[in-house]
Every structure is written in C-alpha cells, then in structure tokens.
Structure 1
Amino acid sequence: MWGGGQPYLPKVHNNEKKKSMCSVMEVCHLRTGRWEQKPTTGNPPLGVNGYAASAIGREIFYFGGWCRHDDCYHNSLYSFNVDTFNWKELSPTTSHHGPMMKYHCDMIAIKVNGEDYLIVIGGYGPSFNNTPKQPGAQYSGSKTNEINFYKLSTGQWISPTVTGDRPPPIHNFTLTSINNSSAILFGGNTANGDSSNVYILNFIDTSVVSVLLV
C-alpha cells in the first residue's frame, strides 16, 4: 500500500520531506496479518492522492493523482517493482499528450492480441491546463469520460475508437476486470449527481464497445 492523505505530509509540489514520506511502501504479510514499512528506491510519483493503480505480474502501475496543493494534478505513469522495490517513471506529467491531468479516475490491465495494455477511464481535474482534448471525449465540470490505452511494449498513449453507450463524464466509480479484454464499470459521480449505472466495456484492438446494462 502506498501514498494517500497522511498527517504532516507537506502540501507542496515536492520537497525532501515529501519525497522521504512517499518513499516507503506499507506491506501486509497475509499469513500473519503483520504490517511492515519498507523503503523504496527511485523517485516516487508526485500524485499521492486519488491515483489509479493496476498490476501486471511483478509490477504495479500508478497513474495520475493530486499533488495535495492547489490545482496540481498529474497524468504521469509510474511502475513499481515488487521484487526490487524500485520506482520507474514511464510517462511524465505533461499537458501536451496523454490523458487529462486528473485524479479519481480508474485503471485496469488488459491483454489484446498478446500485447499488454493499461486502460485509464474518466476522472476529475481542471481542464484549463490540459491540451489537447481527446477526440470524442466529453468534459463537464472538471469531469471527463476519456478512455485511454497505454501500450506497455512501446510506451505509447492511444486514443481508441469508442462505440455504444459511452459513460458520461464521471469520476469516483469502480472499474473491475471481467477477463483479459473486458471490464465492468459501476457507479461514480456525474454532472447529474451520484450514478448507479452499470456498463460492460469490451476492448478489441484499439477500440472499445460500451454497453449500458442498468
């Protein structure tokens, strides 16, 4: 377990105290229920609050998050190796490409035609410093319904073709894998308030088919 709102965590972009506090991982030993705090190496993400995470094999991937000061949101992607306890930045925070800088989105791992992808959906963040907007996506009250693919083998962000019942701009939902190429999205907060809708998302090559169930 990593990050989150912590007492005495500096509300700054970055400094030595913040880096020190964020350079530890909380490890739970399931057999004994004992928690252990272990140091990490490399530079941890700055988006310490409301990030999205997903695992592939021995790597945990962390996307986005809020920096805990002002309107500082991130669209960076990091990997964390559970064997070496080392952080690696895969894609830096930038307003020039990739998903919107945001938090309270969600992310899953899929495999299509033998290739590993990360899928980032929705989220909340200030749109004024996010360019360019994703074709076909909507932006409403700092919420978005962006769907982005990240191809692990090339380090490339991809904007897929989305058909069917696309969710509206949304954040604070749950996204759960059904199998290697589909997921279920439930709940969340939209411009109309809290949602109880259920969507099935099917991922085919670089396209998404979304079906509203309820």
Structure 2
Amino acid sequence: MRWISNLEGGPKRVNHAAVSVGHKIYSFGGYCTGENSREYASMDVHVLNTTTFRWTKHPVSDLPYFENDDILPFKRYGHTAVVHGDKIYIWGGRNDRATCSTLFCFDTVWHCWTAPKTTGNIPLARDGHTACMWKNCMFIFGGYEEESDAFARSVYCLNLDKMTWSIVHTSVLVSGMEPSLRDFHTTVCIKDRMYLFGGRGTIFPNHYTLTGAQETYSNQLWYLDFKTFTWHACMVTGDIPVGRRSHSAFVYNDKMYIFGGYNSVKDQHYNDMYEFNPDTNAWKRLNCRGKGPSERRRQACIPVGDRIFLFGGTSPQQQSKVGSNHGEEMDDILMDHSDMYVLDFQPTLKTLCIIAVRQYKLDESVLPTNVKLDIMNMFTPNKITINRPNNSAG
C-alpha cells in the first residue's frame, strides 16, 4: 500500500459528493471559501479520468439554472451521490439559503440531468446525511433537517426501479441500544450490512431548558442488518479510531477504511487511515508509504480498482495576526484544497519503477513512449479543461 501520486490543479471543492462509474470519477458541487453560496446557479460537474489522472469540467456545469430549474440541481454542499447502473442519483444538500429534497439523476451515457418523479414517504430536506446502495435501493440515514430544525431520526429507502420512498422500520437487539442522532458521519455497505461510523451529535447539559448544547463525537461502530433491519453495536478490538466528523469512508475487498476528519471537542483535524475487518471486528491503523495528504476534512475518497483517489477538502493553516496587547500572534484559518492524492493498494512493479525514476532523477529519455506518458500523468499538475459534450473525460 503506497501513496503513488499527488497533483495540484484539480477542482477546489469542500463538502462535495463523488462516485465512480467505470474508470471515471464524477464530482458534484461542493463549495469553496469566498464563493457566493447564496445564488441559485446550476451544480458544477467535474470528471476525473483515473487512467490519465486528468480533470475536466463537464459542459452541464454551465447550463442556465433558472431556465432549467425543473431538471437541474442548484449548486450545493452536504449532499449525497450513489450509482445505479449507468446513472448517478443526487439527493439532499443545501446552499446558504435553503435545503433540497428533490431527487436528481445524471445520465453518464447521455450526459444530461433529469429529475425523476418520486412517490411515497419522501424524507424532509437535509444536509450532512449519508446514502448507500443495497441491491436496487438507496438508503438515507441521519443529517440535519431544516424544517424540523433537528437531526433526522428515521432511515429512508428509495427503490430506484419503482422510484418509491419508504420509511424503514428498524429494531434493536437491546432496548435503548441504537445509534444516536448525528450528521456528517459515514455509512458503507458490505454484503448485507450498512456500517455506520462517526459524525457529530449534540447533548444538552441542562436537560430542562435545552441550553448549552455541546457537540459529541462517538467512536462506536454500528451496523444495520438489511435482512432483519436490526441495529447492532459492534464489539470491536484493535486500534479504535477517535470519534470524528466529515471524514471519508470507502470499501475495498470487503473491508471498510476511513480517512481524516475533524473533532471539534479536541479541535483536531486528522490525516490517519484505519481499516476495519468485519470478519474479525478488528480495527487497524495503517501506515501507508509515500507522501500522503495533510490533515483535512470534507474531502472525497473514491476507490477505482486497486487505487483510491482522494481530492479536495479543507485544512487548518496558521496565519499571523496582530493582537492589541501581545504583538504578533498566530491564528488558524481553514484552507481549501485543489489537490489529489492516489493511494495504490497493489502497486505494480511498473508503478514502483516509475516512482524510482523520479525519486532518483534517472534518465527518462531512453524510456518507451508509453512509460514517458505514464510518468507525465503521474507527476504533471492538473489544469482543468472544458470537455466536449459527447465525451465527459476523454
């Protein structure tokens, strides 16, 4: 396992949603510090060709929103994306004015947006929730509902063949033992289970007046058994990670991995990576070789084959400030990222040799043309291009 590439010049995005279809990664929306997040502009779509490591901006990003607001999602953050066949479904999220409960579909063959009509018990608009696929259904959990001004309580299911929403009636093995309400957690599906980790909860020290709310971060791992719709608290061992929010989670070879995140109680960002093995219920902290990402939160982390593509997010950065009594001091600000890191679980001999060529500054002129091209892709910073309408990533 090794970080094999880190490139600047991609989309500078925080709280975006991304998924892979074939060898391409589609990244939807998000925000960047300094942008106007109150305007209703159409959601931008960036596409990464994971073979060439090159980013392009999809033409649908520039469609006028108000002329197409019945089929186009407005730009947002805190939303989710799932893949079903060759279509990507976007749900939830918000800008700085409103949240959204409309389902949108991006067709990766015809390169267009639609807004499929749904029926049933449609969940309230929210952000900071999660969505994962099991069979032909998208399961929504958690997040913060603007209308109720509270964390969401129910699990919802959308059958993507019938376009019907339903509330999932879950049970627990032990009375009172179920996941606490939260947002900016992660869920992943492994076989017939949805695993839940992290997120931000709230407690009220003064129970009678509901004042003095404090954030909480649990590191309890849960899973929802899709066969019985029963919640289970995992009795885990090993290197148990600290509770956090806005981290990433992904599945590789039927194991769950988490990266990064933030804990406001500890005021700590992370760039650690953990592996959870559901067969043994054991956590393990990983030490990946190579230059890895800085501490960050709200990044995307997408597996394609044996590689993981991590991009975007935000990190603390110190800058000087002038204090009235103490002269120059340092203060933390958040810096948004436009970088991308590639983690290879099974680097080939060719990949390791390419890394050695650059590391030891060996003569590249004698190498075959295809190897020179691979070296250029792995080490040349990105420059986002506008794609042709009939080809989303070349």
The two structures share one fold, judged by TM-score above 0.5: yes
TM-score range, shorter chain: 0.7 to 0.9
Task: Assess if the C-alpha contact under 8 Å between 2:125 and 2:147 holds in 1.
Answer: no
Partner residue in 2 for 1:197: 272
Q: CA offsets, 1:160-182, max 9 Å, x none? A: 111001111111000000123x1
Aligned to 1:78: 156
Of structures 1 and 2, the one scoring higher in RCO (CA 8 A, sep 6+) is 2
Alpha carbons of structure 1 residues 46 and 98: separation in structure 2 relative to 1, 3 Å? farther
Tell me the equivalent position of 1:135: none
Output the CA distance in 1 between the equivalents of 2:107 and 2:217: 37
**Conserved in 1, the CA contact under 8 Å of 2:222 and 2:234?**
yes
CA distance in 2, matches of 1:85, 1:7: 28
1:110-125 matches, cutoff 5 A: 110-111=190-191, 116-125=192-201
**Residue 96 of structure 1: how far off its partner (Å):** 4.5
What whole-Å deviation, never above 9, does each CA across 1:22-69 have from its counterpart, x for those lacking one? Answer: 2x3101111121001122111222361100111112111111110126
Q: Over alpha carbons, which structure has the higher Rg? A: 2
CA-based RMSD of the aligned residues comes to 2.6
Show structure 1 runs of 4+ deviating over 2 A: 6-10, 44-47, 68-71
Q: CA deviation at 1:154?
A: 1.0
Aligned pair in 2 of structure 1 residues 164, 86: CA closer, same or farther (>3 Å)? Answer: same
The runs of 5 or more residues in structure 1 that have no matched partner are 11-20, 130-139
Cα 1:69–1:120 change in 2 (3 A) is same
The DSSP-based 3-state class of the residue aligned with 1:195 is strand
Q: What does 1:29-68 align with in structure 2 at a 5 Å threshold?
A: 29-46=107-124, 48-68=126-146
Matched with 1:3 is 92
Question: Offset at 1:192?
Answer: 4.0
d(CA) in 2 for partners of 1:202, 1:187? 18
Query: How many residues are paired up?
Result: 186
- The answer to whether the Cα contact below 8 Å between 1:75 and 1:98 also exists between their aligned partners in 2 is no
Q: Percent identity?
A: 25
Where 1:211 maps in the other structure, the secondary structure is: strand
Q: What does 1:173-184 correspond to in 2, within 5 Å?
A: 173-180=247-254, 182-184=255-257
Q: Which runs of 5+ in 2 are unaligned?
A: 1-89, 206-213, 288-394
* 1:211 corresponds to 2:289: no
TM norm structure 2:
0.44
TM-fit CA distance, 1:6: 4.7
Once the two structures are TM-superposed, the CA of residue 193 in structure 1 deviates from its matched residue by 1.4
Per the alignment, residue 78 of structure 2 pairs with none
Which digits, 9 at most, give the CA deviation of each residue in 1:73-118, with x for residues without a partner?
Answer: 12421111111111111147xx94421100000001112xxxx111
Larger fraction in strand: 1
